[in-house]
Amino acid sequence: DAEITQSPRHKITETGRQVTLACHQTWNHNNMFWYRQDLGHGLRLIHYSYGVQDTNKGEVSDGYSVSRSNTEDLPLTLESAASSQTSVYFCASSRDTRTEAFFGQGTRLTVV
Amino acid sequence: QKEVEQNSGPLSVPEGAIASLNCTYSDRGSQSFFWYRQYSGKSPELIMFIYSNGDKEDGRFTAQLNKASQYVSLLIRDSQPSDSATYLCAVTRGGYQKVTFGIGTKLQVIP
């Protein structure tokens, strides 16, 4: 069955370190998204991609970067982790915006 | 003004009652509307989507859309304790490949 997976599921890192969260989907979807979810804010869009070599900034992109070298993967990199980036991160993919987005299981990141 | 607004709740309803969840949005150009359910510690999963004004029914769930008033609602009939979750309203605007989410309404169904 097609699926979308994130790794790691849990990560603790120190302030200032570079961290990469992986997202892999086998739906062959062109659209992929990264969100963070915080209490009181809901899901906020970090970056998104329409397809290979395409990346776009979302609502809260500062301190984050993504790259899209193939259809299946959209890794999210925190260039220099900050405590404010402690959050639950969700990756999602969709065929188009008139169909549902499928979410990964989430990654709980703690920056200490 | 937030693009998508929801009351965070919690909304408490007795088992068997109708739960009514509401969402308003600010962008009149919005064209697609989604309701996601999220259990605690889990990822969001799609419950329903609606594109046209009116009602759309799927089992115990009914989505209602009123574009003139810019609101979308989700009714859950015969609420069950297993419906206890946070319900996220999501909105997209045609031509933009992204979805904007509300903060979600926490629903508690009391046995």
Q: How far is B45 from chain A (nearest CA, A)?
A: 7
Q: Categorize the per-residue pLDDT at A79 as very low, low, confident or very high, splitting at 50, 70 and 90.
A: very high
Cross-chain Cβ contact B97/A50 below 8 Å:
yes
- Which residues, including other chains, have CB under 8 Å from residue B59's CB and lie 6 or more apart? none
d(CA B87, CA A38): 15
pLDDT, tens digit, 9 for 90 and up, residues A3-28: 999 999 999 999 999 999 999 999 99
**CA A98 distance to own-chain centroid:** 21
Inform me whether the C-beta atom of residue A63 falls under 8 Å from chain B C-beta atoms. no
pLDDT, residue B96, reads 45
Q: What share of chain A is helix, strand, coil (3-state, %, to 5)?
A: 5, 50, 50
A vs B, Cβ pairs < 8 A, gives: 51
Whether the link from the prior residue into B81 is cis, omega within 30° of 0, is no
Task: Residue A31: list chain B partners with CB under 8 A.
Answer: 97
Query: B1-22 as b/e, with b when 16 or more CB fall inside 10 Å?
Result: eeebbbeeeebebeeeeebebb
Task: Residue A35: list chain B partners with CB under 8 A.
Answer: 101
What percent of chain B stands above pLDDT 90?
80
Beta carbons within 10 angstroms of residue B58's beta carbon: 10
Closest CA to B42 of A104, A64, A93: A104
- Nearest chain A alpha carbon to B35: A100
pLDDT, residue A98, reads 67
**CA A13 distance to own-chain centroid:** 17
**Alpha-carbon torsion (A23, A29, A35, A37), positive or negative:** negative
pLDDT: which is higher, B95 or A61:
A61
